[in-house]
Amino acid sequence: MTYPNIKPIGGEAEYEATHFEAITQTGRSSLRLIIESAKLQGKHIALPDYLCKIIVDIFKEYQSIIHFYPITQDLSPDFSALTEQFDVLYIINYFGMDFGKRLTLPLKDGHTVIIDDVFYPIPRMIETATACYAFNSLRKISKLADGSLIMANRPLQLELITSATDSQFSAQKYSAKALKHQFIHQHIKPQIHLSELQYLAEFKQAEQLLDSQKSIVAASMQSQIMAMRFYRQLQDNAQTRQQNYLCLKHLLTKKLVPIDTDFYSFAVFKHTQKNELKQFLASQSIYLPTHWPVLENDSLKAINAISVNWLSIPLDTRYTVQDMERLSKVILDFDQRSPCF
């Protein structure tokens, strides 16, 4: 006897493809794949005025006409300031927050939305009938040297992705990471004598390789394997990051830019003597980046002005609450020594 409307048991597992997906080497490769797949060459692009300069450079490669809209002090996008016509709306989810879901700007047929989820483990789409692409950058939030996930509601030209073996960037970056590990742990093997300059030189060389690379490249095998471990430990990872953030929030109070996310990447710290503080921290073996430096180009003089006094504090699982306490103490010590603060 047959039962035509009963759920079958056994056989191959079914799968419903609800989105188009891909894995590339970096956020740069992902953005180029999106531009190529959506045929965005020469289009009008609405970019936030707080962003990585590489984004601007890539759109310029494709002869884009760029318009900027402002980001407020709390990192919220001011979409109401978008008065000019645009074909593509580019949204950045700063430090794990989700601004795509707050989008109130009406989208029209022919619009494309790109969501840059650089600081989040899984790119987040928005519900829209228009073309939507979201991507992240795993190398910015994990130990991976490369890796970027893309999700889209339109097809991706996967044939444009070249083999990871065609690029030297990943291998060079992992070599630099290994050298840094040896430097940090060389007390275990006293016969190893390394300096910071050695691994820093390798990191610089890796970034130079990436800057010169214009092709769309696949993620390396090493990173694909490491990504499985990263996602397996994601819940514990997120908990550690939250604890680190809450510790800084308690100790540094009003000095932090408020961030609301379930996956913290960096805490953003405000200081009127940023450059002097950065040097003082470096003397204590604390090296903090800026997301992102103010751009010097005259035509882009207003870009990243929001971050002129900002430093970013990494919160990932290399660090503990005790590390955050030490870092906070160094900052407070600097404030006590500085007569200008």
Per-residue model confidence (pLDDT) at position 339: 59
Rg of the chain over all Cα atoms, to the nearest angstrom: 22
Mark 201-226 as b/e (b = at least 16 C-beta within 10 Å).
ebbebbeebbeebeebbbbbebbeeb
Blockwise average pLDDT, block size 10, the chain, 341 residues: 78 89 98 98 97 96 95 93 89 96 85 97 95 97 98 97 95 96 78 82 97 97 98 98 98 93 97 96 96 75 88 97 98 83 46
Per-residue model confidence (pLDDT) at position 21: 97
H-assigned helices in 213-305: 221-232, 234-252, 274-283
What are the sequence ranges of the domains in the chain? 20-163
Return d(Cα 210, Cα 305) in angstroms, integer.
26
Return d(Cα 56, Cα 210) in angstroms, integer.
16
CATH number corresponding to 20-163: 3.40.640.10
Q: Which helix (H) or strand (E) holds 35?
A: helix 27-38
Return d(Cα 72, Cα 300) in angstroms, integer.
17
Per-residue model confidence (pLDDT) at position 295: 82
Residue with tokens 């407070």: 332
Give the 3-state secondary structure of residue 42.
coil
User: Would you say 259 and 283 are in contact if contact means Cβ atoms under 8 Å apart?
Assistant: no
What's the pTM value of the predicted model, to 2 decimals?
0.93
Q: Is the dihedral of CA 176, 178, 184, 190 positive or negative?
A: negative
User: Would you say 277 and 309 are in contact if contact means Cβ atoms under 8 Å apart?
Assistant: no
Residue 92's beta-bridge partner residues? 116
Return d(Cα 339, Cα 334) in angstroms, integer.
10
Residue with tokens 């430096």: 293
Per-residue model confidence (pLDDT) at position 298: 54
Return d(Cα 24, Cα 1) in angstroms, integer.
49
User: Would you say 109 and 125 are in contact if contact means Cβ atoms under 8 Å apart?
Assistant: no
The tokens of 292 are what?
């992102």
CA nearest to 260, candidates 250, 272, 271, 268: 268
